[in-house]
Amino acid sequence: MKIPVGIVDDRSQNLHLFSERLDYSDDIATVLTAKGGKDFLDQMKKLPDAGRPKVILMDIGMPDMDGIEAVRTAKLLYPHIHFLMLTVFDDDDKLFEAIKAGADGYLLKSEKLATIIDCIVQLAETGSAPMSPHIARKTLDLLMKASFPGEVPETPEKREHGLSDRETEILKLTVDGYAYKAIAEKLFLSSHTVRKHLANIYNKLHVSSKAQAIKIATKNRLI
């Protein structure tokens, strides 16, 4: 069954290009295209639960409502939908604001199509998406210096995560920006095994997003 995907971009050329290219994949079907944040939210209201996308590719710089505000609003209304920011910008402020708003991943539009598809599949299957390596390093620096609204202080009990050596290895590669298929090839594992390890890592760290996993992993020197 194909993963239903939505694309939000104020440029019609980008909407058509990404929709056409993604639909060539055996794993993905484009079910929504929107020309801005407001258009996206309006369309989502009209769709039945079963017809809504599971992953949204969200541009940041849009005139009527930018991608960050759209994600912030949509995360409250549709908490189970995953958002992958796809943009030409790698600005520190935009990156951090997107993560705080609830973005699950952040890729540059210059990434190869295969990488973008890989991230969509990983988001849909595990709830985790790798970032471009350059973006991942910036995220590490930003998250080490900041906290998220409502963040609960860590207790000694919470710091006892109990990650296995293999899970620690996979966590490090994930933080470094590797997609799960690349991790599987690097460690001579199956993709299914890597996805299972990632699910265990999230469960042990008590997190539901890559950004939270990065923060805990670096603060507690797990990698």
> Domains, the chain, ranges and CATH?
3-131 (3.40.50.2300), 144-219 (1.10.10.10)
Q: Kindly report the pTM of this predicted structure.
A: 0.64
Dist. CA 71–CA 91, nearest whole Å: 17
State residue 152's pLDDT score.
Answer: 43
pLDDT tens digits along 116-134: 888 898 888 877 665 666 6
Contact between 74 and 92 (Cβ < 8 Å): no
Cα–Cα distances in angstroms (integers) from residue 41 to residues 68, 131, 221, in the given order: 13, 25, 39
Dist. CA 29–CA 159, nearest whole Å: 40
Dist. CA 87–CA 59, nearest whole Å: 5
Q: Which stretch, 26-40, 103-117, 120-134, 155-169, has highest mean pLDDT?
A: 26-40
Average pLDDT, the chain: 81
State residue 104's pLDDT score.
Answer: 84
Confidence of residue 114 (pLDDT cuts 50, 70, 90): confident
Contact between 101 and 73 (Cβ < 8 Å): no
Smallest CA-to-CA distance from 116 within 87, 91, 75 is with 87
Q: Which residues pair with 84 in a beta bridge?
A: 57, 105
Q: How many residues does the chain have?
A: 223
